[in-house]
Amino acid sequence: MQSDIFQLRRRQAALFFGILAVLTYGAMLITEYSAIEGLVAIPEAAIWATRNFIPDGEAFERLPRILDKLFETVLMSVAAATLASAFGLAMAIMGANTTRLHPWLSLLARGIASVFRNIDVAAWALILLFSFGQSAYTGFFALFFVTFGFIVRVMIETIDEVSTESVEALRATGAGYLATISQSIIPACLPQLISWVLYMIETNIRSATLVGILTGTGIGFLFDLYFKSFNYSSASLVVLVIVVAVLLVESLSNLIRRAIL
Amino acid sequence: MALLEVEALTKRYGTETLALNDITFDIQPGEFVVIIGPSGAGKSTLLRCVNRLIDISSGDLRFDGLSVPSLRGRALRRHRTQIGMIFQHYNLVNRLSVMENVLHGRLGYKGLVQGILGLYTAEEKRDAVRIIESLGLSEQSYKRCDQLSGGQKQRVGIARALVQKPKMLLCDEPIASLDPNAAKIIMDTLREINRETGITVLVNLHQVDVALRYASRIIGIKQGTVVYDGHPDRLTSAQIHHIYGSEAGDLILDLSERYAV
């Protein structure tokens, strides 16, 4: 009977929204949250934000210093992404089924990459603070580790997907291991590799802000400094500058992607 | 003296699965041998045992008097340079040009640095140009392989094998992904190479009618054992049905045309 299926769907939907309503109401009771007060506060908050967060003349006087720090942060993100990708590619070759030297070595490579990837960049920054203190190295290595873990993972998949067949062909010609990698895997995987490196540069610039707040370096430090000294207009200029920088880098990397793929 | 001597060759996967079971045959220089049999009979495994892309479990396989199962390192690479291989999916590096893919056939002869950098001598390049021309691909020489048709890609695969100056060609389902017209061109090319240069050809095929038309000898394989070995003229319809394990009349087959030529 067809009508039964529709009736069942309707009953499932009603049940779902019912449970959702109960959960919401329960949470509001426990936290003593009043929906009306919350809604009323919105216009007030908007007025306060526009009054305090719009960059003023004083903030724009600080622009050279902000741009200087931004440049430093962008360069660090690029350095972390490119260096980590070089190491990541080598590790991915160890880990990929097509090119691994030994199954256990492959498992090890995948395991290491998984650890690096699954610890969040903020957690890495905090861990590394112990070893490097408040220096640029802390931020650099935090970004480096996360990029490394990510690149290993995506390149393992790319290698196995793109080059299994041509690797077999080169092995059949008697080509050596390193020649097979440089003549078959690298040319076959290069566009994807470049695309992922660009993606990681974008991601790193975004996370560098947070890492900077934690480690006291780069543009994140500047934001933290202005924000904590109630200099909201300068802090918001920092945010604006970061947004513009991310958009610029993103459009630039899209251009590069279109050119190589 | 036989070019290839296979003696009691057995290939086991794990402890249970027997892919090849006690296979024995010789191939003389200049023969055009076609291996037929159903999917999963072990045809591909047998071919890959010859150039040791797959390790041999037990038995012996001698190529040009050299025992293959125990080969390691440089000796194994030198053995592979003597045998060109052609694949169902062409196994080219699609992002590279025809020329680069063809020259990959020389990598087996290269030392470490030359192999990694892909340095080829002027003579090797002249050879490649000549072979590309003889296969009618001159106009495509500098096109990327992902712009070619299936038949053209397979001819690039043949050129890559020929540039090795091999004594034998192994062809693993060379026409399984091609339309009938391109398939005929590829099979005619293989026959021409066999007749004019005397290179021994060993082909895996699904198509019995093609096997009957081109082979100077047919080997039938069923569940890892040889069930027929002899001239195509003596292969009866009943034997074909035995190889494929089918009821008479189930196969799409017309044996009458073999007497027409």
Residues A183, B115: C-beta atoms closer than 8 Å: yes
Of the candidates B192, B89, B212, B260, the one whose C-alpha atom is nearest the C-alpha of residue B220 is B212
Q: What is the ipTM of this complex?
A: 0.88
- Do B202 and B168 contact (CB within 8 A), yes or no? yes
Of the candidates A162, A48, A143, A13, the one whose C-alpha atom is nearest the C-alpha of residue A99 is A162
Percent of chain B with pLDDT over 90: 66
Please state which CATH class domain A56-260 belongs to.
mainly alpha
Domains and CATH numbers, chain B: 1-82+168-261 (3.40.50.300), 93-165 (no CATH)
A180 touches chain B (CB under 8 A): yes
Contacts of A176 in chain B (CB under 8 A): 77, 107, 110, 112, 115
Give the pLDDT band (50/70/90) at residue B261.
Answer: very low
- Name which residue leads in pLDDT, B219 or A162: B219
For chain B positions 227-256, those within 8 Å of chain A (CB to CB) are none
- pLDDT at position A166 over 70: yes
pLDDT at site B247: 57
CA atoms within 13 A of residue A107's CA, in its CB half-sphere: 3
pLDDT at site A100: 87
B66 touches chain A (CB under 8 A): no
- Name which residue leads in pLDDT, B16 or A8: A8
- Do B201 and B194 contact (CB within 8 A), yes or no? yes
Give the pLDDT band (50/70/90) at residue A36.
Answer: confident
pLDDT tens column, A79-116: 999 999 999 999 999 999 888 888 899 999 999 999 99
Average pLDDT, chain B: 89
Lowest mean pLDDT across A207-221, B105-119, B165-179: A207-221
pLDDT at site B259: 47
pLDDT at site A258: 86
Which tokens go with A27?
């949470």
pLDDT tens column, A173-230: 999 999 999 999 999 999 889 999 999 998 888 888 888 888 888 888 888 888 888 8
Tokens 């045959």 belong to residue: B25
Who among A172, A178, A179 is closest to B51 (CB)?
A: A172
